[in-house]
Amino acid sequence: MDPQTAEAGEAYLNSMGFRSLIEWMTAEALLSRPDDPLTFLQSLLQEKIAERKSGEKFQPEHTLAYIKQCYAAASASADENGRILVKPRKFAPPLPSVNSPAPEHGSDPVLARRLSKMEQVIQACRVIGSELDPMEATKIIIKQACAVLNAERATLFIYERSTDMLVLKVSEGATDIRVPYGKGIAGTVAATGKPMNISDAYVDPNFDSQYDQRNGYHTRSMLCVPVRNGANNTVGVMQVLNKISVDKTASFSDEDEEILTILAAQAGVALHNADTHAVACIARERVKEVLSIVQDMHRDMGFISLMFTISTRVQRFVNSDRCTLYIVDRAKNELWTLQGEVNIHVPLNQGIAGAVAQENVAINLANAYDDPRFNKDFDQKLGYQTRSVLAMPLRNGSGEVIAVVQLINKLDASGVFSTDDEELLGTFLHIAGPILFNSHSHLPISSSQSKDEVGTEFTGKSSRGGQDVVEMNVISENDEEEA
């Protein structure tokens, strides 16, 4: 084909991605609406050329990435009605070309020092980015912060909302520190979202010297910046201590603050990835536990053993302090369960479990004492403190409630049962209901049966921390007689 023909020209344009290139420049211009389009496009192209690695040639596929970045910026600038707002783009002062010779020693020492420092930051970001394990990445960030900023120590705190505390996540040189939100240097930075650069810590009224005393350390200079997530919310704090110098009087500069802010952004990404990874691992383990329970339930076991399997295993995978499986006995208008070798009966019109059985709905309470259906007398009788409750119906194939699973006190930092807990437990109970109903010995054991008869098949007891207990929120036969 003649290279001068129209077909050859079109092939060239296609091979170089010109359509994407023009679309990208047009989109950038529309988003910024520059007064001088030529100067704007010149700066835009210079920016992309400066981003190339040394010796790198033009890559047509890069234009697609440019377009995606521009459209993402446009979406971020849209108002609540979806209208894209004009957002003039700001360009950094042009940097020296990667192919230009480095400045001679002494020609511009400030520029040379800044370039050297930025090279360290870029290298640190590359090292951080190469680590696939999120927690290892945070450890690398701390080490790189000490190295790049020439600091004695560095720490990364995460904000724990359930306790309103900053908790030490990763540290280079310190251990086991918890800082109240809004208190001390780190707590103040977390609360205000503003960096603090302190040349003499003991002069600052926000500084709490008890941590120095506890760890046998003396803090001189401090630099502390917020760590933010993708939504720009403060999720932690990163700080470096004691700028290293011969006379131990050096403090951190504005340039150090810029660098630590960059590293804190990397830490925010790493913390988000760590949280996502942890949630995925927990979800995977919980699903495995559910599948394991279902497999066990299909084995030929008696009804009481089946009850015990459900209650003990559900307690484990939902991570609650206690779990009780109540069987619905509609002939007697009551719920019954076993504690040890004793039948326990609850009127169907009383308590949280009774409400679930009658209304065929789940009940999730963050504070049981706020619900009038909960009877606090049994907590007082047993010396127990019920806080959160999750009670859900277990149905047969026809959708009729045949049992209720009641969980007490979520054992995590939040202390409450989440929607994820509800969904996972609901999925399990959807499978378990027909299995329990179709068990060959599914008929309820009447209260007239002897303890010996019940005990012949019972293989375990409801447990709390491995100890036999009497469950709260239940009424025994003796209690009913007294009533």
pLDDT tens-place string over residues 346-358:
898 889 999 999 9
Joined tokens for residue 106: 């002494």
Q: For residue 97, is pLDDT > 70? A: no
Checking phi first, is residue 314 left (phi over 0); if not, alpha (psi -120 to 50) or beta?
alpha
pLDDT, position 362: 94
Joined tokens for residue 173: 């040189």
Q: For residue 406, is pLDDT > 80? A: yes
Q: Exposed, middle or buried, 44 (CB in 10 Å: 0-12/13-18/19+)?
A: buried
Joined tokens for residue 143: 């080490």
| Buried/exposed code over 210-239 (b: 16+ C-beta within 10 A; e: otherwise) | ebeeeeeeebbbbbbbbbbeeeeebbbbbb
Confidence at 174, pLDDT banded by 50, 70, 90? low
Residue 117's SS3 state is helix
Prediction pTM value? 0.48
pLDDT, position 447: 41
Region 249-262: mean pLDDT is: 88
Question: Could you tell me which of 223, 219, 200, 199 has the C-alpha nearest to residue 211?
Answer: 219
- Helix or strand holding residue 327 (H, E): strand 320-329
Confidence at 240, pLDDT banded by 50, 70, 90? very high
Q: Count CA atoms closer than 13 A to 288's CA, side-chain side.
A: 6
Q: What is the pLDDT of residues 346-398, one digit of tens each?
A: 898 889 999 999 999 999 999 999 999 998 887 888 889 999 999 999 888 88
DSSP 447: T
Joined tokens for residue 368: 């049981």
Q: Exposed, middle or buried, 260 (CB in 10 Å: 0-12/13-18/19+)?
A: buried
Q: For residue 445, is pLDDT > 50? A: no
User: What mean pLDDT is reported for the chain?
Assistant: 76
pLDDT, position 117: 66
Domains of the chain: residue spans and CATH: 6-76 (no CATH), 110-278 (3.30.450.40), 298-482 (3.30.450.40)
Confidence at 128, pLDDT banded by 50, 70, 90? low
Q: Best-predicted range by mean pLDDT among 47-61, 283-297, 385-399?
A: 385-399
How far apart (Å, rounded) are the C-alpha atoms in residues 392 and 405? 5
Q: For residue 94, is pLDDT > 60? A: no
